[in-house]
Amino acid sequence: MVLHGGPGSGCNTGMLDWFDLSRQRVVLFDQRGAGRSAPSASLAHNCTRDLILDIERLRQHLRIERWLVVGGSWGATLGILYAACYADRLTGLALRGAFLASVREITWFFQSLKALVPDAWGRLTYGWAPLQKQDVLQSLTSLLHNGTPDEQRDAAARWGRYEADVMQAMTGVEVSKSERSGEARLGKYLLQSHYLSQRCFVTERQLLRSARNTARVPTIMIHGTQDWICPPENAYRLRRFMPHAELRWVVKGTHTPADPAILEALQQAIHDLRNAV
């Protein structure tokens, strides 16, 4: 079972490259409103608890007794919360670049990261009033949910461009232009702002408490030492509450499986957890 990031990003078939398809059945789950999930970008009855229940309903629907759960970034958050509720249904848990749904991380990405990517942050906030720049996430959320259609599209484009600029600065590799249509991009950021503005409907303390409840689940965490999206500090915090987990640092690794070092580490973690069953 693959849990995508975002929230709101959706799955893609490239995720299948993480697995040995001759030996593994892979379920790509588009979370509520994301990807090919319908209705698209729906915010009604769409919170973290709903997604946890959806995962378990899907397992039951597919008649899968136990499965390996693989989650990256926000998907790692969701994976921990699901594992805490349904530990006996997991054969293992692979966590990549874990996000802890904290105010600290959100402030880092939208405000403090300006120190590393000043040009990107300048493009993100171009033309805004000083007050809007003081809380970038709130400003984007307001435009996305309450703005005119043009303001909504502009806010989604700004956010998408900022993410691409950060990724390019972090990896040193030019990010290819997104194939998402304007409508799909807007849907993604409507969902992402819905979750992030509500701190993903979970506190960091609740998440770490859940992490402690996964002690019976074989777990491997991988984290890049140069991850600017979900800082390496996250892995240290999480490891304190998951002493049973194996933490594998990816030296000079970043955040995305598009990074060859992260991809290799993720594939190895999946391989090792599969063979441990």
Q: Which of 73, 102, 193, 210 is catalytic?
A: 73
Q: Is 272 a catalytic residue?
A: no
226: burial class by Cβ within 10 Å (0-12, 13-18, 19+)?
Answer: middle
| CA–CA separation, 11 and 16 (whole Å) | 10
Task: Pick left, alpha or beta for residue 138 (phi over 0 → left; psi -120 to 50 → alpha; otherwise beta).
Answer: alpha
Tell me how far the alpha carbon of residue 186 is from its chain's centroid.
17
Rounded to 5 degrees, what are φ and ψ at 28? Answer: -100, 115
Q: Which of 139, 194, 255, 259 is catalytic?
A: 255
Q: Is 73 a catalytic residue?
A: yes
Q: Is 227 a catalytic residue?
A: yes
- Contact between 119 and 165 (Cβ < 8 Å): yes
Both tokens of residue 249? 């640092």
Q: Which residues are catalytic?
A: 73, 227, 255
